[in-house]
Amino acid sequence: MVSLSTGSLDVVDKAYIKHAAHLPDPRCIKGSLVGHEYWRSPEAHFNDKLNKPTDMFSFALVCIHAVLGRIVQPDDADLINHVKRGSYPTLVRLQRLVSYFGCGAGLQGLKRHVGEENVYCQILEAFWEDRSADYHDSRPFKEWPDVIDADFADLIIKLTNLDPGERLTAEEALRHPWFDMTDDIVVPCDENQ
């Protein structure tokens, strides 16, 4: 899809993107619940301003799935149990994101992004206070036992900052050391081909 040459992004040749729009800076989409809930950023769960940082958060969730085989916001037994007890799935997913990727400064930036007068800011505060409770498994990403690559962990943490304004850009992400894997690439050979 995207090739990298001389440290900058080249033009995308072909792509199939079901609901895509080019938004020049500083334009954004607002008031639309877009994308699949598995890959939504915190601000996307609020139907808030969606732009390039939103895509970077979603990209990080896809990277976690590709590298660790884990969907961060699945329709698992825990979510289904919460829904049966009256919780909204969006709020359960948002609580997970705050627990996995939250830091104090990031939370404050997200609150500024959605508007501190927004009722969701109270919910975010409650999730922040609840993030390390013993009755759920939502532990910070950096504490996950299958996160053993320090460069990968650093990349994901920088892409999933709750504050959209502090996330890595696409260009910054592609310059991250985790993508400098040229010596580590092993391509398996299938002798039958």
> Cα–Cα distances in Å, from 177 out to 34, 113, 173, 190?
31, 29, 9, 30
Confidence of residue 150 (pLDDT cuts 50, 70, 90): very high
Residues 79-88, buried b or exposed e (16+ Cβ, 10 A)? beebeeeeee
* Domains, the chain, ordered by start: 37-177 (1.10.510.10)
Residue-wise pLDDT tens digits, 112-147: 877 777 777 788 777 777 766 666 667 889 999 999
> Which pLDDT belongs to residue 1?
42
Query: Which pTM value belongs to this model?
Result: 0.75
pLDDT of residue 185: 56
Give per-residue pLDDT as tens, 8-41.
444 444 444 555 565 666 655 555 556 667 777 8
pLDDT of 191 over the 70 cut: no
Digit-coded pLDDT (tens) for 84-115: 998 888 888 888 888 889 888 988 888 887 77
Average pLDDT for 148-153: 94
CA 143 and chain centroid, separation: 17
